[in-house]
Amino acid sequence: MKRRGSEVWAVAVLLVLGCGQVGRAEPLYPNQIRQNLFAACLPTDRVGWVVGELGRILRTEDGGETWTRQNAGVKSPLLAISCVDIENAWIAGKSGIMLRTDDAGATWHPLDSGTTKHIFDITFVSPT
């Protein structure tokens, strides 16, 4: 069953508000999350990311039942995320930080955003 955009965003909002916090390397359950989360992106009803305090990036592949921490190599708050599919995503945050993955988050590469201001929202429509 394919979800409509509004249903996916409703799930994302619930994940961000309901999970509120983050944990460490092996699979995490929502009740183990400790830091605040600020944004979510779910390209499918099963796969997605949430980002937040202390450079936290969490990915789910089971619709939010469990989460795996991904390493961004930063400790700054991550405030926004945009994903176009299960492989390609961009993250932005405090002081103009910007990161990109094209391998489902196995690696996150820093990008030059051209600003030192906080970035609260980003949108990408294709991997290019």
pLDDT per position as a tens digit, 5-64: 444 444 444 444 444 434 345 788 888 887 899 999 999 999 999 999 999 999 999 999
Give the number of C-alpha atoms closer than 13 A to the C-alpha of residue 77, restricted to the C-beta side. 14
Q: What is the mean pLDDT of residues 97-122?
A: 97
Do the Cβ atoms of 52 and 92 come closer than 8 Å?
Answer: no
Name the residue with higher pLDDT: 28 or 117: 117
**Cα distance between residue 72 and residue 105, in whole Å:** 9
Query: Cβ contacts of residue 70 below 8 Å, gap of 6+?
Result: 49, 57, 58, 59, 105, 106, 108
Query: Cβ contacts of residue 14 below 8 Å, gap of 6+?
Result: none
Residue 25 pLDDT: 55
Which 3 state secondary structure label does DSSP give 60?
strand
**Cα distance between residue 23 and residue 79, in whole Å:** 17
pTM as predicted: 0.78
Residue 32 pLDDT: 82
